[in-house]
Amino acid sequence: MAVVARRNLRAAVPGCWMFKKILIANRGEIACRVIATARRMGIATVAVYSDADEDAPHVDMADEAVRIGPPPAAESYLVIENIVAACKATSAEAVHPGYGFLSEQAAFARALGANNIAFIGPNPKAIEAMGDKIESKKLAQSACVATVPGFAGVIDDITQALRIADAIGYPVMIKASAGGGGRGMRVVSARKEIAENFARARSEAKSAFGEDRVFIEKFIADSRHIEVQVLGDKHGNVIHLGERECSIQRRHQKVIEEAPSPFIDEETRRKIGEWAIALAESVNYDSAGTVEFIVGEDKTFYFLEMNTRLQVEHPVTELVAGIDLVEQMIRLASGENLRAAQVGVHLEGCAIESRVIAEDPARNFLPSTGRLKTYRPPAQSDRNGVTVRIDSGVREGSEISLHYDPLIAKIVAHAPDRTAAIKAQSQALDSFVIEGVANNIAFLAAAMAHTRFRAGEFSTGFIAQEYPRGFTPLAPEGQSAHLFASVAAAADHVMSERKHAISGRMRPARKVRFARARALMLGKKRHDVTLDETNEGLVVRFEKTGHAHICSSDWVPGQPVWNGTIDGERVVVQLRPILNGYTLARGGFVADARAYTPREAELAALMPEKKSCAGSKLLRSPMPALVKSISVAAGQAVKSGETLCIIEAMKMETVLHAERDVTVDKINVKPGDSITVDTVIMAFA
């Protein structure tokens, strides 16, 4: 790829030299995010890519791109030598590590320094002290900062793990010492679960971060996950930019984040900020970082860990603080001073981020892979005090691979208050159209509408409590049913008018009396309506209740989103064509809506339904994955609960157990095989 000419930039602070070219040692949305800021700053960029990412957007965005290996991260994005070689080949002066991969590896920062390449992140000693979860807990304890009860040391084997867990008391959390993002984290509720979860945590940690050290601490249920964004320079100055609420999680991975927290009061905010600064100052922290806390219902807070890198959820802080954190990281790495003192930090409004993830909420949020057949994110906007921002590293046609994190995009909404931010976020989710992979958009929309979320009354157990078996879209009822039926009727009316305008058609001898009558079927429920055109819009009148709604939109057939007003209120609804109608989706509600004449509806009701047959004698894969291991053999008798096999997707391992006593008849896969969702792994006699 040709190098695009870039002008030399000097930092605003005299004597500081701004980088001319940086390499981004990452992929996906964070690579695109860093490239965008570097481009705005006039800095040339270098992307790195594995064979799986050869056609990825971040490769096209950068001025140069270098291949670093095959798809597995352990053979590409985690290989320090390959990144250093790419820097030398392109004369990159600095490296931004993004998050995950090598971002919290002190050895990586040192390797860059040994080759006169700047690391856009904290100094290696800070990474070692705070990036390592075990060492950071010891440091916090020495600084008299409360930590979660547990054993702040490496666990060598299962025997030691059992002894420590017994002493702490169940439930406990087994956690990887390196990295984050929910990888290598397992909650253990009873002694009998230690062995399996200890092995899985170590294996996931090794796969994701290149090392398998784990420790154990008390698991605090129904707590809040609150984190504080800090910034430090190379001259001893440290500030914080307020807190983020990150309690909406599943499998210990954040799904929805916001700033500020609706739970934290001013006194707690002051104390938690002071602790974060004290911890950062204790290690001479000199970049962007995050100090994470577990906060109890009584607002008692414990230091959890420090992430010595940029966080996935950094945009919510950027929007409330008005600061580009990536730009600050680059400037701080070049030697600039912080441009603001703590008294100069002003946080305004509320920002909420939703992570759009390739996963199937109906299958208890298991990962999904495949090609993005349709990818139409909502438009980014900044008007009337409301900002909608989309951070993404994919495009229509991109492949969601089982080798990497399943994040598709992040929607961030910022508004003067939390209610307005939720409204903007909800409308953006309703406008986001994805086809080709299972995704969590409907779930996120439902979460935005949930009474507990809107009231700010939730904890890290929110998803497990409210959606214990995953999430299945809701069927619209009451007011929602009227809204769905009105949109379906309006869309059908537009289609009918278009058909009537086709030239060369025979004109009926007289006007068809039922032309304005419709029988709208929402699932199995029928709504009889009449349609009338007025200057204000299309009036949809429900015969049974007498309610009438005025619909107005410039929607035309082929558009996947109906964007308009109903009774003067803005309404956004996704719609996908089906026979005689559309599948509609909004706010976590999904329904098939079919428009018939009254007589057609009567006949359609007589059509038989096709019923599926269950394959109870088959073990099918719940998701696309790699087969890690097979624990049984053909002909073996297996008891209920015993492990059948282990599969891996998106750096997470899933153990498949026998649901009843069975005898294995046939095994269709072997370790190392790549399988798709519903692949028959084995059959039972």
Q: How far apart are CA 300 and CA 297, in angstroms?
A: 7
Residue 3: the pLDDT is 30
Q: How many residues does the chain have?
A: 685
- Domain span at 308: 224-466
Local confidence band at 40 (pLDDT 50, 70, 90 cut-offs): very high
pLDDT at site 181: 59
Residues 262 and 378 in one domain: yes
pTM over 0.95: no
Torsion over CA: 678, 626, 219, 223 (sign): negative
* Average pLDDT in the chain: 90
CATH number, domain with residue 599: 3.30.700.30
Asked if pLDDT for residue 254 goes beyond 90, the answer is: yes
Provide the CATH number for the domain around residue 96: 3.40.50.20
Residues 111-156: pLDDT tens digits?
Answer: 999 999 999 999 999 999 987 777 788 888 887 788 888 887 778 8
More confident residue, 291 or 616: 291
Whether residue 504 has pLDDT greater than 90:
no
Mean pLDDT of 441-445: 97
Query: Which one is predicted more confidently, 612 or 498?
Result: 498
If asked whether residues 381 and 417 sit together in one domain, one would say yes
Give the pLDDT band of residue 8 (cuts 50, 70, 90): very low
Q: How many domains would you assign to the chain? A: 5
Q: What is the DSSP string of 259-293?
A: ES-SS--HHHHHHHHHHHHHHHHHTT--SEEEEEE
What confidence tier does 182 reach under pLDDT thresholds 50, 70, 90? low
Give the range among 198-207, 341-350, 667-676 with minimum mean pLDDT: 198-207
Helix (H, G, I), strand (E, B) or coil at 28: helix
Encode pLDDT of 219-231 as tens digits. 887 899 999 999 9
Tens of pLDDT, residues 574-591: 999 998 899 999 999 999
Query: In the prediction, which pLDDT does 648 show?
Result: 86
CB 585 within 8 A of CB 573: yes
Last residue within a domain, chosen from 604, 635, 670? 604
**14 pLDDT band (50/70/90 cuts)?**
very low
Residue 27 has pLDDT above 90, yes or no: yes
Bridge partners, 389 (sequence order): 412
- pLDDT of 214 over the 50 cut: yes
Contacts with 501 (C-beta within 8 Å, 6 or more apart), sequence order: none
Residue 184 and residue 270 in one domain:
no
Domain ends where: 165, 185, 218? 218
Pair 302, 183 in one domain: no
pLDDT > 90 in the chain, percent: 68
The pLDDT value recorded for residue 518 is: 86
pLDDT confidence tier of residue 5, bands split at 50, 70 and 90: very low
Within a domain: 276: yes
- Which CATH number belongs to the domain containing residue 445 in this structure? 3.30.470.20
Amino acid 16: pLDDT: 57
The answer to whether 542 and 529 have CB atoms below 8 angstroms apart is yes
HSE (CB half, 13 Å, CA atoms) of 273?
20
Question: Looking at 204, 305, 318, 336, which residue is catalytic?
Answer: 305
Please indicate whether residue 305 is annotated as part of the active site.
yes
CATH number of the domain where residue 641 is located: 2.40.50.100
Please list, residue by residue across 645-658, b when 16 or more beta carbons sit within 10 angstroms of its beta carbon and e when fewer do.
bbbbbbbbbbbbeb
Residue 611 has pLDDT above 80, yes or no: no
What is the pLDDT confidence band of residue 6, given thresholds at 50, 70 and 90?
very low
Lowest mean pLDDT among 119-133, 257-271, 351-365, 608-622: 608-622
What pLDDT is attached to residue 414? 98
Nearest to 311 by CA among 366, 254, 240: 254
Alpha helix segments (H runs only) across 9-104: 28-40, 57-61, 80-90
Question: Which has the minimum average pLDDT: 109-113, 503-507, 519-523, 553-557?
Answer: 503-507
Residues 527 and 403 in one domain: no
Is 108 a member of any domain?
Answer: yes
351 shares a domain with 438? yes
In a domain, 137, yes or no: no
Domain assignment present for 319:
yes
For residues 595-609, average pLDDT: 83
Confidence of residue 436 (pLDDT cuts 50, 70, 90): very high
Domain boundary pick from 178, 199, 218: 218
pLDDT tens per residue across span 370-403: 899 999 999 999 999 999 999 999 999 999 988 8
In contact, 43 and 20? CB cutoff 8 Å = yes
Residue type, 363: R
Q: Exposure of 7 by Cβ count < 10 A (0-12 exposed, 13-18 middle, 19+ buried)? A: exposed
Out of 340-344, 441-445, 525-529, give the one with best mean pLDDT.
441-445
Report the alpha-carbon distance of residue 178 to residue 42 in Å, rounded. 34
In tens, the pLDDT along 468-496 reads 989 999 899 999 999 999 999 999 999 88
How does strand 637-638 pair with strand 548-553?
unpaired
Residue 218: is its pLDDT beyond 80?
A: yes
| Across 562-566, average pLDDT | 97
**Of the ranges 199-213, 292-306, 669-683, which one carries the lowest mean pLDDT score?**
199-213
Q: What are phi and psi of 472, to 5 degrees?
A: -115, 130
pLDDT for 532-562, tens place per residue?
999 999 999 999 889 999 999 999 999 999 9
C-beta of residue 152 within 8 angstroms of C-beta of residue 296: no
What are the residues whose beta carbons fall under 8 Å from the beta carbon of 2, sequence distance 6 or more?
A: 63
Average pLDDT in the 301-323 region? 95
Q: Are strands 44-50 and 64-69 parallel, antiparallel or unpaired?
A: parallel
Tell me what pLDDT residue 180 has. 61
Residues 448 and 575 in one domain: no
In-domain check, residue 202: yes
Domain membership of residue 92 (yes or no) is: yes
Same domain, 315 and 444: yes
Whether residue 15 is contained in a domain is answered as no
Q: Does 600 score more than 50 pLDDT?
A: yes
Residue 252 has pLDDT above 90, yes or no: no
Indicate whether 261 and 377 sit together in one domain: yes
Give residue 54's pLDDT band: very low, low, confident or very high (50, 70, 90): very high
Instruction: State residue 106's pLDDT score.
Output: 94
pLDDT above 70 covers what percent of the chain?
Answer: 94
Structure tokens that stand for 264 in this block: 């934290």
Helix ranges restricted to H, 210-242: none
**228 and 313: one domain?**
yes
- Let me know whether 485 and 360 are in one domain: no
Residue 96 falls inside a structural domain = yes
Asked if residue 451 and residue 489 are part of one domain, the reply reads: no
